Amino acid sequence: MNSLRIHNPLLMRRVIQSIQGQFPMIRIWGSAVNVALVVSCFGVVAVFVWILAGFVAEFLRPARRRLRIYIRALEPGHRKNDCFVIPIDPRRAKPVKRVVERIAVLALLCAGVSLKSQGQDAVSAPLSNPTPSEAGSRNQQAPPEVLQELDAMKYRIEQLEAQLRHVSEGQPSTVVQAAIAGTRTTSSISVLNAATETASQPSGSAEPFAFADWTWLNGNPRTKEAAFDSKFFTPEIRADVAYHYDFNHPKDDTIGGSSEVFRSNEISLTHLGIGGDFHYDHVRARVLSQIGLYSTATPRNDASYSRGQWQLDNAYRYVNEAYGGYHFDVLHGINVDAGIFLSYVGLFSFYNFDNWAYQPSYVSSNTPWFFTGMRIQIFPSQKLKIEPWIINGWQSYGRFNGRIGFGGQVLYRPTPWLEILSNNYGAGADALGIPNRTRYHTDNSVEVKYYDHPERFLDKMAFSVTADAGCESGGGVNCTTNQKNAAGQIVSYKQSFLGFMLYNRWWFRKDRYGFTLGGGRINNPGRYLVLLPPINGATATTGTPYFTENPGDQFKAWDMSATYDYMPSQYITFRWEFNHRHSNVPYWSGPGGVTPPGGNTGSPGSTVDGWSPDLRHTEDRGTMAILVKF
Asked whether residue 163 is assigned to any structural domain, the reply reads: no
* Residues 429 and 565 occupy one common structural domain: yes
Query: Do 88 and 193 reside in the same domain of the chain?
Result: no
State mean pLDDT over 87-113.
48
Encode 439-455: b = buried (16+ Cβ within 10 Å), e = exposed. bbbbbbbebebeeeeee
**80 and 117 in contact (C-beta within 8 Å)?**
yes
- The DSSP string of 436-482 is T-EEEEEEEEEEEEEEE-TTSSEEEEEEEEEEEEEEEESSSEESS--
Instruction: Please give the helix or strand (H or E) that residue 19 lies within, else none.
Output: helix 9-22
Residue pLDDT, tens place only, 344-384: 888 899 999 999 999 999 999 999 888 999 999 999 999 99
Number of folded domains that form the chain: 3
More confident of the two residues 373 and 101: 373
Instruction: Give the pLDDT band of residue 176 (cuts 50, 70, 90).
Output: very low
Residues 91 and 189 in one domain: no
CB neighbour list of residue 149: distance below 8 Å, 6 or more residues apart: 108, 112
By residue count, the chain amounts to 630
Q: From the CB of residue 125, how many other CB atoms can be counted at a distance below 10 Å?
A: 8
Looking at the fold, whether 283 and 405 belong to one and the same domain comes out as yes
Predicted confidence at residue 47, as pLDDT, reads: 64
Q: What is the mean pLDDT of residues 180-205?
A: 43
Higher pLDDT, 194 or 425: 425
User: In the chain, pLDDT over 70 holds for what percent of residues?
Assistant: 68
Helices (H) and strands (E) in the chain, counts: 10, 23
Q: Do residues 457 and 336 both lie within one domain?
A: yes
Q: How confident is the model at residue 156 (pLDDT cuts 50, 70, 90)?
A: low
Q: Are residues 207 and 258 in the same domain?
A: yes
Higher pLDDT, 428 or 142: 428
| Pair 335, 195 in one domain | yes
pLDDT at 190: 35
Angle at alpha carbon of residue 318, lines to 317 and 321, rounded to 5°: 100
Look at residue 76 in the predicted model and tell me its pLDDT: 45
Top-confidence residue, 624 or 187: 624
pLDDT score at 61 = 61
Residues 24 and 111 in one domain: no
- Residue 201 and residue 99 share a domain: no
Residue 157: per-residue pLDDT: 75
Residues 254 and 389 in one domain: yes
Q: pTM here?
A: 0.72
Rounded-to-integer distance, Cα 84 and Cα 386, Å: 45
pLDDT, tens only, 262-276: 999 999 999 999 999
106-129: pLDDT as tens digits: 545 544 444 444 444 443 444 344
Note whether residue 156 is domain-resident.
no
- Dump pLDDT digits (tens) for 278-331: 999 999 999 999 999 999 999 988 888 888 899 888 999 999 999 999 999 999
17/287: higher pLDDT: 287
Q: Give the pLDDT score at 384.
A: 95
Q: Do residues 487 and 443 both lie within one domain?
A: yes
3-state helix, strand, coil in the chain (%, to 5): 25, 35, 40
Q: How high is the pLDDT of residue 584?
A: 95
Residue range 599-614: mean pLDDT, rounded: 91
Residue 566 placed within a domain: yes
Domain membership flag for residue 468: yes
pLDDT: is 156 or 232 the higher one? 232
Whether 282 and 226 share a structural domain:
yes
Q: How confident is the model at residue 59 (pLDDT cuts 50, 70, 90)?
A: low
Return the H-helix or E-strand segment holding 239. strand 233-246
Residue 65, domain member (yes or no):
no
Q: What is the DSSP letter of 316?
A: S
Domain that holds residue 15: 9-56
Considering only CA atoms, which of 13, 61, 379 is closest in space to residue 209? 379
Q: Confidence class of residue 343 from pLDDT cuts 50, 70 and 90?
A: confident
- Check whether 138 has a pLDDT greater than 50: no
Higher-pLDDT residue of 74, 474: 474
pLDDT tens by residue, 531-551: 999 999 999 999 999 999 999
The CATH number given to whatever domain includes residue 297 is 2.40.160.10
* 3 within a domain of the structure (yes/no): no
Higher pLDDT, 55 or 577: 577
What's the average model confidence in pLDDT over 68-88?
45
Q: What is the mean pLDDT of residues 135-147?
A: 53
pLDDT band at residue 26 using 50, 70 and 90 as cut-offs = very low
pLDDT of 395 reads 87
Q: Is 408 a domain residue?
A: yes
In a domain, 161, yes or no: no
pLDDT at 104 over 70: no
